Amino acid sequence: MLLITVLLAILVMATLLYAGHGYWAWVCALLILIAGGHFSDAPTVFTGWAIIFSAVLSALFGIHQLRRGVLTSSLMRIVKRSLPTMSETEQTAVDAGTVWWDSELFSGRPDWERLEKFDVSGLTKEEQDFLDGPVEEICRKTDDWKVAQDRDLPAEIWQELKDQKFFGMIIPKEYGGLGFSAQAHSDVILKLSSRSLPLSVVVMVPNSLGPAELLLHYGTEEQKDHYLPRLARGEEMPCFALTEPKAGSDAASIQSYGVVCKSKIDGEMVLGIRLNWRKRYITLAPVATVIGLAFKLHDPAGLLGDKEDLGITCALIPRETKGVKIGKRHDPMGIPFPNGPIEGKDVFIPLDWIIGGQEGVGQGWRMLMESLAAGRSVSLPSLSLGASQLATRVTGAYATVRRQFGVPIGKFEGVAERLARIGGLTYGMDAARKLTCAAVDAGERPSVLSAIAKAYLTENMRLVFLDAMDVLGGAAICRGPKNLLSRAYDGLPIAITVEGANILTRSMIIFGQGSIRGHPFVPNELEAVAQNDLIAFDEAFWGHINFTLGNAVRAAVDGITGGRLIRVEGNPVAKRHKQLLTRYSSAFVMVADFSMLALGSSLKRRESLSGRLADALSWLYLATAAVKRFEDEGSLEDDEIYLDWFCAYAYQQIEQALITITHNYPIGFLGLSLRLKLFFLGRSAHGPSDKQSLELARRVMGEKEGRERLTSDIAIPRNTHEAMGALEEAYYKVIEIAPIDERIRAARKAGILHGVERDDLPRVAQERGVITEDEHLLIQEAQKLADAVVEVDDYTAAAYKKLKG
């Protein structure tokens, strides 16, 4: 009887915790134990202790004043002592931007209806016309190989970019810009990057984190009226100087400084700043006419007030200002976009050159972090997707045209495995890009999600290109105009490094900032401690405990049932993925909560653990975006393979991250406990099946218009005299003769062409009536085109010595 009572108590407790009723779970469980002990043959002492324990817990958790005085006040002091120290710049970075879908993932029970109602809108007619017109035209005119050899874009391309206002996409029409949405901005960068990396970078940077973005949100009206129209027309070319030799990822530790002082200008004493700086890695610096500069401002003479150290400040400085040294170039991986150092010595500027005027003093770090939250959502994710779509299109065609052992190389399972990963990652990357841009267009500045988009889309681009290079083999490593991948491949480390190095972003930012901002209770706990508000802390802390216990039960149940008890709506395929994502969300939150509670401030230093939590959170978001895309595009049966493959890949990454955490947990028994709770039946996610990968590989090679589906946003030249156009022509011709090839193979299998050498098959097939003369000519034409596109560039000794880049 006692055993049955205990099991019943556990069941009731688990049920109530699963429903989120933590207090009543304990009370009801203890009442059952009391009753069971009374009506069973249990010792009286058992019933007595159960009654005492129940009474104590009921008093502590039912009488708020008692709980706060006895427990909460002590806990609050412990928490306050254990919190990691956070500098003002760290706090500003954490507070920057907004919280959006990341809060749902931290809830353990994402609100799928909220996501379903969220509108991922398309382009306006004006935006689409710009893509179809000026963007297509600039892509047509740009020869990426020639750009690499000339070490710059042609002068006429630079001029056309200015004339068509490519540098003013984010500037509102009232200031002479295009006023495009984030989605349109992204689509433009995507298409340009599929044609030429230098072309996309020179357009991307003025529309990302820089003077225009900062002026729009923080500039004075005079600054906006002066600079924005000139920036939109390309009369001013901006750059932004933040990185220094001693301040890279730790950007807040910049050494550049300015001192408030007075200087005589044109016979009058002017209040201003004397600056000294040394910056590097500044994109567009060699061609910039106006420099956005971040520096630490000091006021030792008290000319602006009582405070001496005024903090990081941003100012706009014309290139020709006395003391500015600019024009030298770095050579980033041989990719010829303008990038170089800037120095300034004893440069005097008036106060009104500070972005925002005197009110902008000391606000520079906040400006940068808030702007980064939005700008990082668009630029590099779009570039990554453009390059990945290019790799998908090129590799799908090459795997069809290139034959070995008499069959297209894409038919070999080893190659098909790579093709599937190329296509599957490209599909998911596009989904994440669109969803993140839509969030920005909806007014969000999603700091954590933008960090995920930047870090994981650039990493996935790297995987796509590694696979593409492997499939193309020698054709991908011999440089020249026929090589469609090598120049983008060379630029991979650049995307990985800029706008926050991926190592830092993964190991310190994504989970660190996400947990502080997106968790349902942690932000309130931290604020209550900071304000010394016992009542608020009491509500937040015990709410957190209740949430943690309830989620732990849900995570365990979901792990055993595979999430099948979770109620969600939608197409059967999407519904199942929502259940699994909810299951993994609760598992992620369980590990996160136990880590925060058990490890406290030491979690900040455990970057390996934090990085794996970032992996889990990031792949949750990427898979969520894929589900959203699938449903928004009509839940088509033909699209199920893209969603299923990508989600299977994402689940594998999530499980790998969480299981690795439990095996390396600093507290061994807690790691084992977490592993048993979350994966009691072992791992269930093993990645895409071979069947899925083979089907997806066929799509990448063109089956069911898959190649078009995955690469619809890039520039596709039709000029057959250049490499991409020639590959497209050969591909479609090979597709055209596929039914004829099939008849020849069938005839060979039937013995009609037995013993015929492979090269003689078309001729003999015509002679024996298997195919017609016209079909034979079509095969010869396709073979000639295929032979041409698998050729690689070669050079004379003299020409080879002249190669650049």
DSSP category for residue 751: T
The closest of 404, 389, 302, 293 to 341, measured between CA atoms, is 293
Side chain identity at residue 548, one-letter code: T
Q: How many CB atoms lie within 10 A of CB 758?
A: 10
Query: Does 499 participate in catalysis according to the annotation?
Result: yes
Residue 658, phi then psi, degrees to nearest 5: -70, -40
Residue 422, phi then psi, degrees to nearest 5: -60, -50
Cα–Cα distance for residue pair 552/680, rounded to 1 Å: 13
**With b meaning 16 or more CB within 10 Å and e meaning fewer, what string describes 420-435?**
bbbbbbbbbbbbbbbb
> Residue 296: which H helix or E strand, with range?
strand 290-298
Residues whose CB is less than 8 angstroms from the CB of residue 430 and which lie 6 or more positions away in sequence, other chains included: 385, 389, 629, 710, 713
User: The dihedral of CA 297, 303, 309, 310: what is its sign?
Assistant: negative
Cα–Cα distance for residue pair 231/237, rounded to 1 Å: 7
Four-CA torsion 361, 362, 364, 366, nearest 10 degrees? -130
Catalytic residue among 499, 655, 728, 729: 499
534 burial level (CB within 10 Å; 0-12, 13-18, 19+): middle
Cα–Cα distance for residue pair 155/136, rounded to 1 Å: 18
Side-chain-facing half-sphere of 121: CA atoms under 13 Å: 13
How do 268-283 and 339-350 pair as beta strands?
A: antiparallel
Reduce the secondary structure of 25-86 to three states and give it as a string.
Answer: HHHHHHHHHHHHHHHCCCCHHHHHHHHHHHHHHHHHHHCHHHHHHHHHHHHHHHHHHHCCCC
User: The dihedral of CA 616, 619, 625, 626: what is its sign?
Assistant: negative
Q: How many CB atoms lie within 10 A of CB 3?
A: 9
Contact 341, 309 (CB under 8 A): no
Which residues belong to the active site? 499
